[in-house]
Amino acid sequence: MSQMNRRRALQLLAALGTTGLVAGCGTDDEGDPTATGSPIKIGLVAPESGSGRAIGEDIVNGFELYLATHGQRLGGHPVTLVKADEGDNAKTGQAAVNDLLKQGVLALTGVVNPTVMSGIRDIVEQARVPLIGSNASPVSLQSVVYIWRTSYVLDEPGRALGAYLKQRLPAGSRVLMIAPEGSSLDVMQGFRQGFGADDPRIAGEPVWTNPTANPGESTYVSDIRQALNRRPTAIFCHFSGTAAIQFIKQLRRYRPAYTGPIYAPGFLTEGSVLNEVSKVLLDDEDRLLPGPIQTVSNYSADLNNNANRIFASAYRKTYNVSPSTYAMASWDAAQVLDGAIGLAGANPTPQQVNLALGKVGQIDSPRGVWQFNQPRTPQQRWYLRTVQFDGRLLSNVMVNEIATLG
C-alpha cells in the first residue's frame, strides 16, 4: 500500500479510540514538536514476486501500518522507508541489502527466506548496521551482533507442538512427518526434539517432498501415497504459501483413506491460504469435513489483549483482512526500532541503535508481552490454533497457550 498521511492515521486511531497513540502522532501543523528529530531512512527487504510475495506484502503492510499510526516517525525522527526486492535466493538478497546500505539506511528490517537471511549475515555484520528480521531465522544463525529477530527460530514451532502432542496422543498412535526436503530440516528436528526422537509413536523417518516453491497440482501425490502407506493416525507437516495450498488440496483427494488430524506450524494455514483451500475443507452444505487442522504459532489474530485489539482492528480497517503472524512480527520490528532509536539520542548512528536494541526491555506486543533473549530472538509464548468458523469466516481460532520458548 502507499503510506497513509498523518491526517489519515489520526482519523483511523480516533475511530479506534486509541487516544494515547493519537497524541503521539501529533497534528498536521509544521510546528509539531515531535518533528524535531533529524530525518532517517529504514531499509525494508522483502520479496516482491514469486512464492514469497504474499508473505512479503504482509511484512510491508505491518511495518507501514505502524508508521502510519505513529506519525511516520520512529524514535521521534521522520522516517523514509526504502524498500528493496529480496528475490528468491541468497544472491538477490545480498544485492538488495548492498543497495540499501549504499543509500545510508540507519537500520534494516524484513527478510522472508531463511536462505537469504544466512546469505546476508556477513554483509550485515561487516556493515555494522542493525537488521531486525521479521520472518526468517534458521537455527544455524548464531553468534550474531547486528542481527535481531522479532519472529521465531525455525525449530521452535516444532518443539512446541511436539512437546504438546507427546502428552496428548494415546499409545499406539502413528505420527507421520512430511515436509519439503532441505528447507524443513530445522522444523522436523524441532518436532523430534519436543516429541522424543525415539518415541515409538513416530512412524519412521520423514517423507521428504519436492522442495519447489511453486508446486503443481500433482507435485505431492506420490509422496502423500507413500506417507499414507504407513497408515498414520496423525500427520505433522511443514508447508507454507503456495506449497501449503497444494499440499492440503492434494492430501484431501485421499479422503476417506485419511481423515485424521493434521498438525503443523502456523504457516500451513497462515495469510491467504485458508481462503484458497476452503472448498476442500467444507462439504456441500459448507460444514467442516472431518479431519481437524491444528497449528502452532506465536500469534493468533483473536488474542484478547489491548495491544492486539489496537493492531488487529487497525489492520482489518486498512487492509480488509485479519493480520498474519508475518504482519505482526513486522509491526513489532517497527516497535522495537521506535524504542531503540528513541534511546539512541538526537543524532543516532547504526551502532548506537544496535546498542539500544539491547535495552528496549519488554515489548507490549499483539502476541503478548515478550523480550529479546541473549541470541537476539524473542522469548515468547506459543499458541495452539484450530481451523474453524469464527462467525461466517473460516479462521485460525486460538485454543490455548502451550509453551514459552526462547
- CB burial string 70-107: b at 16+ within 10 A, e below: bbbbbbbbbbebbbbbbbbebebbbebbeebbeeebbb
- pLDDT given at position 36: 66
Q: Judging by beta carbons within 10 Å of its beta carbon (0-12, 13-18, 19+), is residue 30 exposed, middle or buried?
A: exposed
What mean pLDDT comes out for the span 200-211?
Answer: 96
- pLDDT given at position 304: 94
Tell me: pLDDT of 14 over 60. no
pLDDT of 102-156, one tens digit each? 999 999 999 999 999 999 999 999 999 999 999 978 999 999 999 999 999 999 9
- pLDDT given at position 8: 45
pLDDT of 154-166, one tens digit each? 999 999 999 999 9
Tell me: pLDDT of 11 over 80. no
- Across the chain, what does the average pLDDT equal? 90
Tell which residue, 286, 288, 315, has the closest CA to residue 302: 315
- pLDDT given at position 129: 98
The three state secondary structure string of the chain is CCCCCHHHHHHHHHHHCCHHHHHHHCCCCCCCHHHHCCCEEEEEEECCCCCCHHHHHHHHHHHHHHHHCCCCEECCEEEEEEEEECCCCHHHHHHHHHHHHHCCCCEEEECCCHHHHHHHHHHHHHHCCCEEECCCCCCCCCCCCCEEECCCCCCHHHHHHHHHHHHHCCCCCCEEEEEECCCCHHHHHHHHHHHCCCCCCECCCCEEECCCCCCCCCCCHHHHHHHHCCCCCEEEECCCHHHHHHHHHHHHCCCCCCCCCEEEEHHHHCCCHHHHHHHHHECCCCCECCCCEEEEECCCCCCCCHHHHHHHHHHHHHHCCCCCHHHHHHHHHHHHHHHHHHHCCCCCCHHHHHHHHCCCCCECCCCCCEEECCCCCEEEEEEEEEEEEECCEEEEEEEEEEEEEC
Residue entry with cell 528493496: 84
- pLDDT given at position 24: 36
pLDDT band at 2 (very low <50, low <70, confident <90, very high): very low
What mean pLDDT comes out for the span 379-400?
Answer: 93
- pLDDT given at position 213: 80
- The least confident of 13-27, 221-235, 308-322, 387-401 is 13-27
- pLDDT given at position 15: 43
To the nearest whole percent, how much of the chain has pLDDT over 90? Answer: 81
pLDDT band at 392 (very low <50, low <70, confident <90, very high): confident
- 368 or 241, which is more confident: 368
pLDDT band at 20 (very low <50, low <70, confident <90, very high): very low
Tell me: pLDDT of 5 over 80. no
What mean pLDDT comes out for the span 217-233?
Answer: 96
Tell me: pLDDT of 381 over 80. yes
